Amino acid sequence: MFAILRSTNAFAIDLGTNNTLVYQPSRGIILDEPTSIAFDNNRNSFFDGGASSRRMWGKNPKYIEVMHPLSRGAIANLTVAKAYIKEVISRIAQRRFFKPTIVVSVPSDLTSMERSAVIEACKDGGARDVMLIKDPFSAALGSMQSIELPKGVLVLDIGAGVSDISLLSCNGIVMSKSLRLAGNDLDEAIIEYFKAHKRILVSHNDAERLKKELGNLFENEEKTMKINIKNLVSRLPESFVVSSTDVHRAIMPLADKMVALTHSLLSELPPSFAQDIYDQGILLTGGSSMLQGLDRYLSEKLEIQVNLVENPLHNIILGAGRAMEETRYSSLLGT
């Protein structure tokens, strides 16, 4: 089996709430696209998975639905997930007559039913064999950590739908805690803040832009951005200048929930791991970990070093690929 995992017909997939990445041994990352697919109600068929369907979101006519198969790291609609994965496999599998073997990186807190849904979706989508690896393992391996050693590695993964902190040692998870709150919730917090305090409606795309460009957990110099919004008083579209101060106020309550999640695990940390963690700190990864100032904010609140990994967007998929290629990590793969 593990020789097959290093073949040209085997792939690792990071099936994320917002984005899907695919890794092929010897080639590296071969696909990086939004986890979405369009459905035409007139024709009763799926089409345009990935970036093309994402561009339709919010601008689609009523007979076209832009669907997202995952919600908070888990499959929300099995039919949509099968259609989307089938689209992904059709793009990556070069030998169409041979079904590929797939390793999927998934959140650590998925239930057995949710894990079964991932496997079923992949097999019905065109995979021959499906193996799962938990995101904390992938994240640590993507940062070139040697998690097979009797030494604690603490990983905080903040994605689009899930925040997860896990203590790893000896190729196992010693303890972990998850919070179904992450990057998408920051976007929603921004939308709700401006709706409540400014009486304007901000689009999801603009909320994400504001988070990335103005979001900062430390109020440094004030920045502004002009966006187009809908005025909830006049009910008309207009331009509006957003300040970084307002974005800061919108995201702070959620940042504090991420601090609380991490603190709750640290408070239960077995004393035998204390020296390991305080020596090397916490690894911070996931797309939403790049929120400006998050690593520093966590470090100051928790009084422990928090280190943002070198490549947080690709960290998990690179680690899942490493698990395929190095037999010492084969025990991390399961169903």
Q: One-letter amino acid identity for 109? A: D
Residue 262 belongs to what H/E stretch? helix 244-266
Residue 211 annotated as lining a ligand binding site: yes
Quick one: tokens of 210? 């504001």
Residues 16 and 256: their CA atoms lie apart, in Å, by 24
What is the DSSP pairing of strand 74-75 with strand 10-15? Answer: unpaired
Tell me which residue of 131, 148, 135, 85 sits closest to 109, measured CA to CA.
135
In the chain, the largest separation of any two C-alpha atoms, in whole Å, equals: 64
Residue 209 annotated as lining a ligand binding site: yes
Strands of the sheet containing 45-47, edge to edge, are 45-47, 37-40, 64-67
**Close Cβ partners of 297 (under 8 Å, ≥ 6 residues apart):** 217, 218, 255, 259
Residue 157 belongs to what H/E stretch? strand 153-158
Q: One-letter amino acid identity for 168? A: L
Instruction: Judge whether 130 and 123 are in contact, CB under 8 Å.
Output: yes
Residue 210 annotated as lining a ligand binding site: yes
Cα distances from 19 to residues 84, 155, 196, 228, in angstroms, run: 12, 20, 30, 26
Residues 210 and 229: their CA atoms lie apart, in Å, by 13
Residue 54 annotated as lining a ligand binding site: no
Which residues are known binding-site members?
208-211
Which residues are known binding-site members for ATP?
208-211
